Structure 1
């Protein structure tokens, strides 16, 4: 365990080589206010999402650099500062992913539901998946590149791994004031910097894993603001969602992929494909753009993207 301040200038606790569940963290008796709140209403816990898409978000200068390079590299200022050589990607949880997760969640609670019970069950997860892990907005910029994980791993394998599959490992758990980040490191087999980090499991009861091109993630805290409560009616085989008498703030969790990048490496992607994979998005608070970047409105970002496409022909 290590206490430090991050690039976003806030305190964090780092647990290297581990993905610690919410229960694991609570049992450690840390000095952390939100983690131990006992007023959080009942909500869906340990819901398994199967995620097939990932995104990389950047500001306007990052956008232009990506198209200039026809690909992704670590920002030069981070290389110069001897920071870890990572290219960061986040999970994209789609509405279909949420629907599939809800079906698994309900089936795990009521494995023998009748057709009528299934038909009459109101939607559940849409009331609780309100953290930044499920939003189209981002704290990291106005321009979001979205790829299927399979495609991204294929590009990385062809360019840096000698056509071998890259290795995915449990890298760390970061605990912030209101956020738990699980980091997975992705690296070529010939890079031995991470040999003492456990390989990401393909099955089991861990926080996340990788199987056949799909990441699974057992989300333990899908909401940062709780204003609903879950009511399980075992007799009727049904779940209801009720209003909670007040809003409660809590930690939320998510997963990031950190692709190992050597200085000078560029993960090349054809420009036409880049244009198909990028869209404008709004910047959410807190804004974590590195100066001198500043957030744009959605309309401004869309205009920048349209102008760039015109410039690039």
Structure 2
């Protein structure tokens, strides 16, 4: 199905499904030339990341609003327009997450590597994790709040779920021109509007993403927007390396988490924790700030944040 989102961008979406790239290629409704390219060089596919942190990025007004409210809420203009009430968070993939994912990937290729082969393997995944899903920059603002997903769930449970564990569901797959977005939904147990059309999120089963033991797992299928290198696999030596390749553009995939929020709800967080969790970041194209927010340089953003922190001492 197709729709126009709140940024007036056309998107193709699949409700209650997390469809892999191969699944999407079989959907006739998906008219995306990049998705069907067959000249993409070999790269690490279906690499499994175990991510414990999530982040929320905003502009100056959002930053001030979060500290004014001592927490996170849906923008008032979106509540007034009758849009769905969600608080959005992206996976925050660390360098340690990438190293661990690479080890899992290499072990799946070569389960019986020797100690010498282990020592001789140079990092390769860092050459391919170049999409926006892995970058410190953001299209959504200059101020990033980062929490462990487990900690965020704890706040949500204690404020909106009467101490009961929330429900995690498969929400949507959304396809843009060069971007595949997998949405995970979190809601209290006494909210039943999602029961019929949105299945429970997998634990350790097959799938694109799920939740297990405090971490969100994600089988990344397209880690780069642009490929300039090719993955070479040497089965004899149980090793992999990269070689140059003609530049090719492709789709990239990522995961976000939507917390169900009723009108007026504010996900409260202690001011000291907010201060420790926020940092300034550089913005990247395309700028997706909502008016009247405007992008700042990294230096300007750091100055704004320093002034805010000084005013709260």
Normalised by the size of structure 1, how large is the TM-score? 0.98
SS of the equivalent of 1:34 reads: coil
Q: Work out whether 1:247 is the aligned partner of 2:247.
A: yes
Tell me the SS of whatever aligns to 1:174: strand
* 8 Å Cα contact 1:161/1:188 also seen in 2: yes
Counterparts of 1:118-133 in structure 2, within 5 Å, are 118-133=118-133
Q: CA deviation at 1:169?
A: 0.2
Equivalent residues of 1:58, 1:144 under 8 A apart:
yes
Task: Give yes or no for the alignment of 1:115 onto 2:115.
Answer: yes
Q: Give the 5 Å matches for 1:121-270.
A: 121-196=121-196, 197-244=198-245, 246-270=246-270
1:247, distance to aligned residue in structure 2 (A): 1.2
| Alpha-carbon offset, residue 285 of structure 1 | 0.6
Taking only aligned residues, the RMSD between alpha carbons, in angstroms, comes to 0.8
Q: Distance in 2 between matches of 1:106 and 1:8?
A: 40
Residue 102 (structure 1) aligns with = 102
Work out whether 1:20 is the aligned partner of 2:19: yes
Structure 2 residue ranges without an equivalent (≥5):
none
Structure 2: distance between partners of 1:87 and 1:216? 20
Question: Is contact 1:232–1:240 with CA below 8 Å preserved after alignment?
Answer: yes
Q: Which residue of 2 aligns with 1:11?
A: 10
State the aligned residue count. 311
Runs of 4+ in 1 over 3 A off after TM superposition: none
1:15 aligns to what SS in structure 2?
strand
- Give the SS at the match of 2:177: coil
What secondary structure sits across from 1:93 in the alignment? coil
Is the 8 Å Cα contact of residues 117 and 237 (structure 1) preserved in structure 2? Answer: yes
Q: After superposition, where does 1:77-92 map in structure 2 within 5 Å?
A: 77-92=77-92
SS of structure 2 residue aligned to 1:45: coil
Distance 1:58 1:179 in 2: 20
Aligned counterparts of 1:104 and 1:148: Cα–Cα separation in 2: 22
User: Per-residue deviation at 1:11?
Assistant: 2.0
Which secondary structure does the structure 1 equivalent of 2:265 belong to?
coil
Instruction: Report the equivalent of 1:291.
Output: 291
What is the alpha-carbon distance in structure 1 between the residues aligned to residue 36 and residue 63 of structure 2? 40
TM-fit CA distance, 1:142:
0.3
Cα offset, 1:8, TM superposition: 2.9
